[in-house]
A and B are shown apart, each in its own frame.
Chain A
């Protein structure tokens, strides 16, 4: 076999070029820069594509940036790489099954997705979950807020080169997830909050486990605080970076920590309380820095505010039902721990299979068909770790959602990328996106 002369001299990795009306355009990847630097360039205008598979873009986010030197003149976000059609799929399931879909959207704050969705269905039905269920919802939501903010520090730190922030924050997050796993059965995608209440009550020992966590966590969070807050590199990478003031936030629809870091104390837990948040003592964290540093400070303070809320929630726990008493809505199967894990309680199976045909029919109809929801439309919102998480639910009176649209905060907040990045340095674009803390599962749904 002879190797042709052409194959030995031509560089298979050389940058390709093509002539356009705006001059020669080179397509460059990896180590092609030598061949471009050899070319005679009239102007230094570089379009850099980052992602969707890039370790610094916070998920499958794609950034297309135009550079003059190292300064960004134009930044565009391209999304949709994680689109799974959750809103379409929900229309083919019944109202209860919708919970298992929405919980997978913003996978770092699943309890918020479930609660927001359940509140929407409950508003359509005109029912309210019992007090104990509300308290447990608050408890789980605040635990999730802590775990979610810890990931914001972990991935944000990693993207800026603070590897220890990542290892430490993921370690503390795992402690929180252990508690959530004990309560709901899963670390993520819990499907624990259901329309009308909860899938099940707290298991024995859960309250003690949460109290243990409250003992340990403050010192651990203080550790992350010590690691990052006083760190001069962390400060240099975040202070004065990706500035966005209140006016800009409102125009771009930005909510959550980014809005609060600009100085507006807007938190739905205070302004439109749900799940009994009006009965809890806590402060809304704000900052006036309006930059990545301010967003870090806001998230950090929110961790400690969440700890306060969790402590109060434990004190508020009174015995009682965790599901509405209407048996036409509440899931008929009483769950119990069996030899093969959590499942329908044997007592319940014995009753429906052995003694009550009516109960069997009722069980069958409710599980296969689901309950009907009066026609109409509602919008409910909860304050997720990333901002206002809104659910627009439409019912036509059937047993399936006619339409559920999710106003995901990450989706909306990502629009601020251009405003935060343009005019800044390329390296600061990473800090900007990290400070928005988008979760692509929620963005693309």
Chain B
């Protein structure tokens, strides 16, 4: 069985279950103790394919090629600022260096060929197995051209600093505060980077993968049910 999707999956290596280094794949653990893959039923017949740390091959398809070409021409130092261009499931992602995010956002907003007027949010993803574990993701929308684009940047735990985009998109205020609150990523240039969802005196950043979920065992019909993060995982 395969559920690999109808869209192009760039960087996918057909038939290879080996994840390249830096890929966000957790090693499988199975309840039956099987060593190789742990799939005893054939149920999980999906080949685990991790996205490569490389750009998608050209052509990207639809409007993506033209848009990226236009950016290469008009944005100074595009090759330096944007490390990867990934097209997956019909979505365009530009991987940007953290210190260049605000600059690129300003260009994307103001350039007449781009016109990304609306920032829909900033959030984070934690990949603790990689060196630059915190990914910060921006979703932009061009109402003029009805296009969406995703910017992604990654920082390490030792220096979790990203340029704030509040100067370009004031709506990033709450979103960057939430990302700071949940992941501990510092947005340089944010007017008041304080906690937003957790209490002000809270320790730790809950959305990090090494932050425990917490919970207590409960008794149900005489049996002890462990808290969710201690239950059997099939990941």
Contact = CB atoms under 8 A, between A and B. Distances in A.
Given A92-B229, A400-B233, A402-B125, A251 B213 contact: no
B121 A390 contact: yes
Interface of B is mostly: loop
Interface stretch (B59-67, B196-204, B217-225): B196-204
A392 B121 CA distance: 10
Contacts of A403: 125-126
A397 B50 contact: yes
A375 B171 contact: no
Nearest to A398: B235
Contacts of A272: 146
Interface string A258-282: 0000001010000110000000000
Interface stretch (B3-11, B74-82, B99-107, B155-163): B3-11
A125 B3 contact: yes
Interface of A is mostly: loop
Contact of A126 (B7, B124, B235): B7
A123 interface: yes
B25 A250 contact: no
B38 to A, nearest CB: 10
A415 interface: yes
B91 A127 contact: no
A83 interface: yes
Contacts, number: 168
Contact of A365 (B41, B121, B173): B41
Contacts of B43: 328, 362, 365-366, 369
Contacts of B182: 87
B89 A89 contact: no
Nearest to B229: A92
Q: Which residue among B44, B126, B175, B229 has the maximum number of chain A CB atoms within 10 Å of its CB?
A: B44
A79 interface: yes
Contact of B88 (A79, A371, A376, A392): A376
A375 B174 contact: no
8 contacts: A125-B3, A362-B41, A365-B43, A377-B137, A390-B120, A396-B24, A397-B49, A412-B121
Given A92-B213, A376-B88, A397-B25, 11 more contacts: A80-B199, A92-B229, A253-B120, A372-B44, A375-B48, A377-B150, A388-B120, A396-B24, A399-B235, A407-B121, A444-B197
